[in-house]
Amino acid sequence: MNFETLRVRQEEGVVFADIAAQPMNLLGPELVGDLVSLIQQTEADSALHVLVFASADPDYFISHADVTRLGNNGEQAAKLTGEPSLGILFRRLSTSRLVTIAQIEGRVRGAGSEFVLGCDMRFAARESAMFGQPEQGLGLIPGAGGIQNLTRLMGRARALEVMLSAEDYDAELAERYGWINRALPASTLGAFVRSLAHRIAGFPADARVSLKDRVNAIALASAEDFRRDTELFRECARNPEAQSRIQSAMARGLQTREAEMDLGLMLRQLEEKPTSKLEWKLLTKRRASSTRGVPPGREALAWVTNTVTLIYGQRDAILVDTLLTEQESKELLDWVVESGKHLTTIYITHAHGDHYFGLKHLLDKFPNAKAIATASVVAAIQNQIKPEFLHSFWEPRYPGQLPSQLIAPEVLEGDTFYLEGEELKVVELGHTDTAHATALYVPSIGLVVSGDCVYNNTHLYLAECGEEARNEWLRALDKIESLHPNVVIAGHGVLNPDSSPRHIAETRLYLRDFIASLASTSTAIELYEMMLSLYPHRINPGSLWAAAKASKPPESADRLKETQLA
């Protein structure tokens, strides 16, 4: 006997058939066809008396009927019974002159459970067997004899519990409820069933057939009742609600090994709203530019913003970057508290003080939150919060305004962390407006928080960039663009930013114009004026002035002084 989905061997009057329908023993037309042939061939051989079904897959005995091929299953079943119904096929098994035994390991649900209920006896591995009639979870009813057999076996109340709950039942509970004859340790199950099968096969055949007929006369429902269940199953399956639930279960992995390991859980989740989508909001604060000594004439534009991003789910939130001054840090803290979300993480995109000085305030209020950044960013921040740098650079620019305690974030291991199960990915950008810059990418909502890679209507801070760094910045823009984001947050922008991806291209154009202007001018003031003529409305010309002086330095001392600022 050769089959596509069954491994069959014969020992005297007993036939052992192991179900092996890759990848998860779904009951599809190949398996149904093989079962039909097996029943025909074994019934035709009067030397055979007992048929034992087991599974070649330790996790799945028969997962359930393949919901995409229900019609094809019916066609195969009709080859034996003349009726396109799995229920009638399984009932046919119950009336066979052969004695059938199911030796169950792994999951057996839906039509799989109805198949073992069609067998004469069921023995299951205590450790691994799992039973379920999940139909109600999909808006269906057990249509292949489950209702008829379970109600007779368990009684009305337990049968209703099992079928209405669509829950998974382990072997011990299945035994207590009468779903199976016995739950046995997996180590003894095979030997027990084999011995029982041979014992039965050794007794006279005629008396066995009479006995089975008389038991069926008491306990097996009529073919008419099986047919009625099949009809009602088909009616349910045509209902739009059932169709949409099956679709939604398929989207969650129905008919895949992994997802069906815990089908009970999946059916519960169908009740819930679609996966909680993350949302985000921005806090944008305007402050004075960091650059001093800017040529006169553009005072109205001499300011800059910092933007922080709060990404949040139903309960939790993560913050990307913080603000610079003590006052801003307090306002930021209030804003986060007002959100009502539980802050789990603060991610710092790069090592510029205007992006991390506010950390201490937030961590004091949210002691369970973790501040994180890449190893390079953490190392740079540790250097920058040393007193010498603060005294020489930040304090003269913002006297009496900086938070009194500055701290560095911790190193993030790997490049991914999570918010309510959704991925947040660190994108290493190389040099943008400083070395080792990063962006944060949230694939589930197509959001990129660009750090200081993408600017919005603000002069880029190019004072830390030589030729190679400018090219790195251009490549960083390509990298962000390759993510095809829906939303791109600029670290420095206008007060009510649109966060459009178009700012990637605009930042790229600015960089190319700067590179071209650098080549066609000879002094800092020429470069500054040329870029201003191209970008007369961009905010913070001080940033451009710092870049111009760094790129065309009259004295190297000035250049050093202007580095490390945004």
CA 206 to chain CA mean position, Å: 58
Residues 404-417 as b or e (16 or more Cβ within 10 Å = b): eebebbeebeeeeb
Residues from 39 through 98 that contact Zn ion (CB under 5 A): none
- Beta carbon of residue 322, minimum distance to Zn ion (angstroms, whole number): 11
Q: Which long-range contacts (CB under 8 A, 24 or more apart) does 257-260 make?
A: 257/23, 257/24, 257/59, 257/60, 260/24, 260/60, 260/63, 260/107
| CB 352, min distance to Zn ion, A | 4
Residue closer to Zn ion, measured from CB, 66 or 452: 452
Where helices occur in 500-540 by DSSP H, the ranges are: 502-520, 524-534
Q: Give the rounded distance of the alpha carbon of 156 from its chain centre.
A: 40
- Number of residues near Zn ion (by CB under 5 A): 4
Q: Residue type at 180?
A: I
The residue among 174 and 566 lying less far from Zn ion, judged by its C-beta, is 566
- Peptide bond between residue 23 and the one before it cis (omega within 30 degrees of 0): yes
Cβ(266)–Cβ(255) below 8 Å: no
Question: Any contact of residue 531 with Zn ion (CB under 5 A)?
Answer: no
Beta strand spans in 295-436 (E): 303-312, 316-320, 342-347, 370-373, 410-411, 416-419, 422-430
Give the separation between CA 487 and CA 499, rounded to whole angstroms.
6
Angle (CA) 250 252 254, round 5°: 45
Which pair of tokens denotes residue 344? 């789990």
Q: What separation in angstroms does the CA of 337 have from each of 266, 332, 357, 419, 450? A: 34, 9, 18, 18, 24
Residue 566 near Zn ion by CB under 5 A = yes
Residue number with CB closer to Zn ion (458 or 551): 458
* CB 461 to Zn ion: min, Å: 7
122 is an interface residue for Zn ion by CB under 5 A: no
CB of 137 to Zn ion, least distance (A): 51
- Shortest spacing between CB 451 and Zn ion, in angstroms: 8
Which residues in 335-354 contact Zn ion (CB under 5 A)? 352, 354
Distance in Å, CB of 24 to Zn ion, minimum: 52
Residue 70 Cβ vs Zn ion, minimum distance, rounded to whole Å: 60
> Which C-beta is closer to Zn ion: that of 93 or that of 566?
566
Q: Are 79 and 36 in contact (CB under 8 A)?
A: yes
Helix (H) or strand (E) holding 102: strand 99-104
Q: What letter would DSSP give residue 203? A: S
- Residue closer to Zn ion, measured from CB, 378 or 566: 566
306-325 binders of Zn ion (CB under 5 A) = none
Comparing CB distances to Zn ion, the nearer of 324 and 343 is 324
Cβ proximity of 426 and 415 under 8 Å: yes
Q: Which two tokens stand for residue 19?
A: 């179900």
Site for Zn ion in 344-403 (CB under 5 A): 352, 354
Asked whether 150 and 118 are in contact (CB, 8 A), the reply is: no
Using Cβ positions, the residue closest to Zn ion within the complex turns out to be 566
Q: How far is the CB of 166 from Zn ion (least distance, A)?
A: 54
140-179 residues in contact with Zn ion (CB under 5 A) are: none
- Rounded to the nearest whole angstrom, what is the least distance from the CB of residue 383 to Zn ion in the complex? 17
Provide CB contacts within 8 A for 435, sequence distance 6+. 351, 376, 380, 464, 469
Nearer of residues 237 and 294 to Zn ion, judged by Cβ = 294
CB of 538 to Zn ion, least distance (A): 15
Quick one: 105 or 452, whose CB is closer to Zn ion? Answer: 452
Instruction: Give me the 443-462 binding string for Zn ion, x by CB under 5 A, dash otherwise.
Output: ---------x----------
- Which is nearer to Zn ion, 42 or 564 (by Cβ)? 564
Question: What is the rounded CA–CA span in Å between residue 312 and residue 341?
Answer: 7
Q: Which CB, 116 or 439, lies closer to Zn ion?
A: 439
Q: Are 291 and 542 in contact (CB under 8 A)?
A: yes
Residues 277-296 binding Zn ion (CB under 5 A) are none
Closer by beta carbon to Zn ion, 136 or else 284: 284
Q: How far is the CB of 406 from Zn ion (least distance, A)?
A: 16
**What's the rounded Cα separation, in Å, for the pair 180 and 169?**
11
Q: How far is the CB of 431 from Zn ion (least distance, A)?
A: 14
Q: How far is the CB of 67 from Zn ion (least distance, A)?
A: 54
Quick one: 184 or 547, whose CB is closer to Zn ion?
Answer: 547
Short-list 419, 106, 86, CA closest to 260: 106
Cβ-based nearer residue to Zn ion, 83 or 472: 472
Chain residues binding Zn ion by CB under 5 A are: 352, 354, 452, 566
